[in-house]
Amino acid sequence: MALNICFYFQVHQPWRLRTYRYEAVGHRHDYFDDAENSAILRRVAEKCYLPMNTLLGELIAEFSPQVRMSFSISATALEQMRAYAPHALASFRRLVATGCVELLAETSHHSLAGLYSQAEFTAQVARHRDVCTRLLGAPGPVFRNTELITTDAIAARVAALGFRYICVEGADRLLQGESVLRPQPLAAAPGLLALARHYALSDDIAFRFSDRHWREWPLTAERYVSWLQGVAASAPNESMLGLFMDYETFGEHQWADTGIFAFMRALPRAALATGNLRFATLSEAGQRVAASNTPLTIPTPVSWADTERDTSAWTGNRIQQSAQAAAYALEPYVKRAAAGGREGAQLLEDWRRLLTSDHVYYMSTKHWADGDVHKYFSHYESPYDAYIGYMNVLADMARRCGAPERTLGETAG
């Protein structure tokens, strides 16, 4: 039977903070390091976005309409591309214009609002749709939350917003024996279907590809396709395989000299030659593949991060919990002040940039199996430096929006 291969790529860049000391509170509101953000965005564009977009465009032209894929691109990434690398944004527009790329919906600022504020979550989904539609194209019926963080409550909210599908991590504790190869109904969200990531085959590309100690190194497209055929043979009916990964896998995390671009160039031809493998967007696969009859429940958060596949990467220690509590405690004050015209609009945007999950990710103190991953992504000397700078910015934000002085202290205790 046919196996629908669903590549989904996440594109995201945060607005990183400049060094912001307590002495600046009440005096400076320029929180974000424009030079650093510009340099990183341009570097990633040159190493990943531009060459990979060119590669995918060539594959689409060669095999159209058989090569198809899905993207989610945060509003923070889109707006940085518009500011710092408009040629990269134009290359994404060309991909979307082929008709072979589906855009997914998400929160505008790659935030954890789904865990903390239903109102802000809803507002950010709307904000993302607006930015994405203006700069790139309209998202479709598939939603992916930040880092695939999903709970029953988040799923119910996503369903209420009118989405048909939600991306989830294919964690064993979530599926509990149900197949990762077909859509799954959700007990808390009738009408919404979960499309799961096959974490092993996804991570073979995203993490293990360049590992010379991996027994499968070097991985060829032909060998990988043989694994895909094995998956197809195990499915009694038409099925789907979710290969979800950061787009920066290509050229940034896995450098060009690892052979990652050559691997992806060879993959479509090898897959399509089998006759039983085909490429599909997530919504296409959701429509083609029969769903399970067993609803899933998600009482505690599931994500695609780290070996635990929970939210400990962002909320696993006291400083992370304190930072998030303090940030969301400012919500009513920020939104009240935001009604005051242009200055209020900038205040709201600054606050939302502070909600981006990367800021608390930098505060992670996990130093076991995934510790090096956290260090790789952080530009701080330590998690505590990240926390101190972040809380200084929140202190200034509190003054700007008129929040009582006790607001941050109460949440940080």
* Active-site residue list: 147
End-to-end CA gap in the chain: 57
Token pair listed for 126: 């709307």
Token pair listed for 134: 């203006």
- Closest CA relative to residue 22, chosen from 400, 403, 397, 396: 396
DSSP 293: S
SS3 302: strand
Q: Are 237 and 248 in contact (CB under 8 A)?
A: no
Token pair listed for 411: 């949440």
- 191: Cα separation from own chain's centroid: 23
Dist CA 107 CA 126 (whole Å): 8
Token pair listed for 108: 């505008």
Query: DSSP letters of 183-251?
Result: -EEBTTSTT-EEEEE-HHHHHHHHTSTT-TTSTTPSPPHHHHHHHHHHHHHH-SS-EEEEEEEEGGGBT
Kindly give the pairing relationship between strand 3-11 and strand 277-279.
parallel
- Closest CA relative to residue 386, chosen from 354, 345, 348: 354
Dist CA 183 CA 285 (whole Å): 9
Q: What are phi and psi of 105, to 5 degrees?
A: -90, 155
Dist CA 328 CA 105 (whole Å): 22
How many C-beta atoms surround the C-beta of residue 291 within 10 A?
14
- Closest CA relative to residue 71, chosen from 193, 199, 243: 243
Q: Are 220 and 186 in contact (CB under 8 A)?
A: no
